Amino acid sequence: MPPGGFSQAVPGTMVLLTSGAILLVSERERGLLRRLAATPISRGSIVLGKWVARMALALVQIGFAMALGGCWWPIEITPRWMQRRALVLPSGWCMDAMHRLVSFGYGAESAWPHALALAVGASLLGWLGTRQFRYQ
Protein backbone atom coordinates (compact mmCIF):
# COMPACT_ATOMS: atom_id res chain seq x y z
CA MET A 1 0.00 0.00 0.00
CA PRO A 2 1.42 3.43 -0.92
CA PRO A 3 2.30 5.78 1.91
CA GLY A 4 -0.14 8.56 2.64
CA GLY A 5 -0.81 11.35 5.09
CA PHE A 6 1.94 11.72 7.68
CA SER A 7 4.12 9.04 6.08
CA GLN A 8 4.17 10.97 2.80
CA ALA A 9 4.15 14.54 4.07
CA VAL A 10 7.05 14.38 6.51
CA PRO A 11 9.68 12.87 4.16
CA GLY A 12 8.47 15.02 1.27
CA THR A 13 8.77 18.19 3.31
CA MET A 14 12.20 17.15 4.60
CA VAL A 15 13.44 16.70 1.04
CA LEU A 16 12.02 20.01 -0.23
CA LEU A 17 12.57 22.43 2.64
CA THR A 18 16.24 22.26 3.49
CA SER A 19 17.72 25.70 2.99
CA GLY A 20 15.49 28.72 3.62
CA ALA A 21 16.06 29.79 7.22
CA ILE A 22 19.46 28.13 7.48
CA LEU A 23 20.97 30.59 5.01
CA LEU A 24 19.74 33.63 6.92
CA VAL A 25 21.07 32.31 10.25
CA SER A 26 24.40 31.49 8.62
CA GLU A 27 24.66 34.96 7.09
CA ARG A 28 23.98 36.54 10.47
CA GLU A 29 26.52 34.35 12.31
CA ARG A 30 29.23 35.01 9.72
CA GLY A 31 28.66 38.77 9.82
CA LEU A 32 27.43 39.02 6.24
CA LEU A 33 24.29 40.91 7.25
CA ARG A 34 26.44 43.43 9.14
CA ARG A 35 28.54 43.95 6.02
CA LEU A 36 25.40 44.54 3.96
CA ALA A 37 24.38 47.23 6.45
CA ALA A 38 27.57 49.13 5.55
CA THR A 39 26.65 49.30 1.86
CA PRO A 40 24.55 52.05 0.23
CA ILE A 41 21.82 49.49 -0.51
CA SER A 42 18.50 50.10 1.25
CA ARG A 43 17.09 47.58 3.71
CA GLY A 44 14.09 47.12 1.45
CA SER A 45 16.33 46.25 -1.50
CA ILE A 46 18.28 43.74 0.59
CA VAL A 47 15.12 42.08 1.88
CA LEU A 48 13.58 42.06 -1.60
CA GLY A 49 16.74 40.56 -3.09
CA LYS A 50 16.84 37.82 -0.47
CA TRP A 51 13.14 37.11 -0.94
CA VAL A 52 13.46 36.91 -4.75
CA ALA A 53 16.43 34.55 -4.38
CA ARG A 54 14.45 32.28 -2.01
CA MET A 55 11.45 32.30 -4.34
CA ALA A 56 13.66 31.38 -7.31
CA LEU A 57 15.11 28.49 -5.29
CA ALA A 58 11.60 27.40 -4.30
CA LEU A 59 10.50 27.42 -7.95
CA VAL A 60 13.41 25.19 -8.89
CA GLN A 61 12.59 22.84 -6.00
CA ILE A 62 8.91 22.76 -6.92
CA GLY A 63 9.90 22.06 -10.52
CA PHE A 64 11.88 19.03 -9.41
CA ALA A 65 9.07 17.91 -7.12
CA MET A 66 6.52 18.26 -9.90
CA ALA A 67 8.79 16.17 -12.20
CA LEU A 68 7.62 13.19 -10.09
CA GLY A 69 10.44 12.87 -7.65
CA GLY A 70 7.78 11.63 -5.24
CA CYS A 71 7.81 14.61 -2.88
CA TRP A 72 4.25 15.83 -3.43
CA TRP A 73 2.40 12.54 -3.70
CA PRO A 74 3.37 8.90 -3.27
CA ILE A 75 5.18 7.89 -6.43
CA GLU A 76 3.81 4.38 -5.87
CA ILE A 77 0.35 5.50 -7.08
CA THR A 78 1.70 6.57 -10.48
CA PRO A 79 2.28 4.31 -13.51
CA ARG A 80 5.44 2.21 -13.46
CA TRP A 81 7.15 4.35 -16.14
CA MET A 82 6.72 7.45 -13.95
CA GLN A 83 8.17 5.60 -10.97
CA ARG A 84 11.26 4.77 -13.02
CA ARG A 85 11.48 8.36 -14.27
CA ALA A 86 11.43 9.66 -10.69
CA LEU A 87 14.63 7.76 -9.97
CA VAL A 88 16.44 9.98 -12.47
CA LEU A 89 16.20 12.86 -9.98
CA PRO A 90 18.00 13.22 -6.63
CA SER A 91 14.67 13.97 -4.97
CA GLY A 92 13.41 10.61 -6.25
CA TRP A 93 16.44 8.85 -4.73
CA CYS A 94 15.81 10.57 -1.38
CA MET A 95 12.10 9.81 -1.32
CA ASP A 96 12.58 6.18 -2.36
CA ALA A 97 15.16 5.68 0.38
CA MET A 98 13.01 7.42 3.00
CA HIS A 99 9.93 5.39 2.05
CA ARG A 100 11.94 2.18 2.22
CA LEU A 101 13.05 3.08 5.74
CA VAL A 102 9.97 4.85 7.14
CA SER A 103 6.93 3.57 5.25
CA PHE A 104 7.85 0.05 4.19
CA GLY A 105 10.07 -0.96 7.12
CA TYR A 106 13.08 -2.15 5.14
CA GLY A 107 16.43 -2.16 6.87
CA ALA A 108 19.13 0.49 6.56
CA GLU A 109 20.90 -1.59 3.91
CA SER A 110 18.05 -0.82 1.49
CA ALA A 111 18.94 2.89 1.55
CA TRP A 112 22.70 2.48 0.96
CA PRO A 113 22.51 2.49 -2.86
CA HIS A 114 20.51 5.72 -2.72
CA ALA A 115 22.90 7.33 -0.23
CA LEU A 116 25.86 6.28 -2.35
CA ALA A 117 24.26 7.70 -5.51
CA LEU A 118 23.55 11.00 -3.72
CA ALA A 119 27.11 11.17 -2.36
CA VAL A 120 28.60 10.48 -5.79
CA GLY A 121 26.30 13.04 -7.41
CA ALA A 122 27.10 15.68 -4.78
CA SER A 123 30.81 14.98 -5.11
CA LEU A 124 30.66 15.26 -8.88
CA LEU A 125 28.68 18.49 -8.79
CA GLY A 126 30.98 19.86 -6.07
CA TRP A 127 34.01 19.05 -8.20
CA LEU A 128 32.42 20.68 -11.26
CA GLY A 129 31.46 23.74 -9.20
CA THR A 130 34.98 24.04 -7.86
CA ARG A 131 36.41 23.82 -11.38
CA GLN A 132 34.05 26.54 -12.62
CA PHE A 133 34.31 28.85 -9.56
CA ARG A 134 35.80 32.27 -10.18
CA TYR A 135 36.45 34.96 -7.57
CA GLN A 136 35.45 37.74 -9.96
Number of residues that make up the chain:
136
Quote the number of domains for the chain.
1
- Quote helix, strand, coil % in the chain, to nearest 5: 75, 0, 25
pLDDT tens, 124-136? 988 888 888 665 4
Amino acid at 128: L
Please report whether residue 1 resides in a domain: no
Q: d(Cα 74, Cα 131) in Å, to the nearest integer?
A: 37
pLDDT tens, 47-101? 788 888 877 877 787 676 666 766 667 788 889 998 898 888 888 888 888 888 8
Residue 7: pLDDT over 70: no
Domain range for 57 = 6-132
- Residue 116 is predicted with a pLDDT of 94
- Residue 120 is predicted with a pLDDT of 94
Closest CA to 9 of 102, 115, 105: 102
Residue 102 exposed, middle or buried by CB count within 10 Å (0-12, 13-18, 19+):
middle
- Residue 136 is predicted with a pLDDT of 45
pLDDT tens, 102-124? 888 899 999 999 999 989 988 99
